[in-house]
Amino acid sequence: MILTKASTLASFALTGGVVVGAGQAVLTRLGEPALIPPPTWGVSLALLGAIVLGLAWPIRSRVRHPEKGILVDPMYATRVVLLAKASSLVGSGLAGGAIGLGFFFFTRPVLSPPTLFLVGLAVIGAVVLMMGGLVAERWCSLPPDAPESSSPGGPEGELL
């Protein structure tokens, strides 16, 4: 499994910021009201990040302490790691989108503190979702194996 790279997260955040910021500017130029994130947006994103961590915790404990004899269900681990990867990418894109909204509102002649608070709450919630996904993704990965004593070009299996 390849862990999510910082460049991928940055590209999702940049794309989200450009799309949402430009979309907000186009909407207001057309006479539509500006979109303001609801207060539940940031809270629900942070809650989703905590849920992803909660789903990954049993896998982490079983991988770190194999001597207990409890095996990891590979299908469950696969589902959790896919959810974690998706959460980190979506959280990154939504954080970029919320930053795009913040940039739009900061460029207005009149600043509205409640609106800026809601945008900040959305950014924090999206970052919590992204970080929860990244941590859960690392919790679901196996530690590196010990190097084998056999030579890389040697025969495998039983020798007669």
User: What's phi and psi for 38, nearest 5 deg?
Assistant: -70, 155
Whole domain around residue 92: which residue ranges?
6-20+37-139
Q: Is residue 131 part of a domain?
A: yes
**What pLDDT score does 2 carry?**
83
Q: Is residue 157 part of a domain?
A: no
Give the separation between CA 2 and CA 61, rounded to whole angstroms: 21
What token pair was written down for 6?
Answer: 């910082």
3-state secondary structure of 80: helix
Q: Is residue 26 part of a domain?
A: no
Query: Residue 63's pLDDT band (boundaries 50, 70, 90)?
Result: confident
Closest CA to 92 of 49, 47, 43: 49
Query: Residue 44's pLDDT band (boundaries 50, 70, 90)?
Result: very high
Q: Is residue 122 part of a domain?
A: yes
pTM: 0.84
**What pLDDT score does 159 carry?**
40
Query: Residue 20's pLDDT band (boundaries 50, 70, 90)?
Result: very high
Give the separation between CA 100 and CA 21, rounded to whole angstroms: 4
Q: Is residue 151 part of a domain?
A: no
Residue with tokens 């809601």: 118
**What pLDDT score does 160 carry?**
41
**What pLDDT score does 28 carry?**
93
Q: What is the CA radius of gyration of the chain?
A: 22
Q: Is residue 27 part of a domain?
A: no
What token pair was written down for 107?
Answer: 């460029």
pLDDT at 65 > cutoff 90: no
Q: Is residue 155 part of a domain?
A: no
Average pLDDT over residues 129-151: 75
pLDDT at 38 > cutoff 80: yes
Residue pLDDT, tens place only, 69-112 = 777 788 988 899 999 999 999 999 999 999 999 999 999 888 88
**What pLDDT score does 29 carry?**
93
pLDDT at 142 > cutoff 90: no
Q: Percent of the chain beyond pLDDT 70?
A: 88
One-letter amino acid at 138 equals R
Give the separation between CA 61 and CA 123, rounded to whole angstroms: 30
Domain count, the chain: 1
**What pLDDT score does 158 carry?**
45
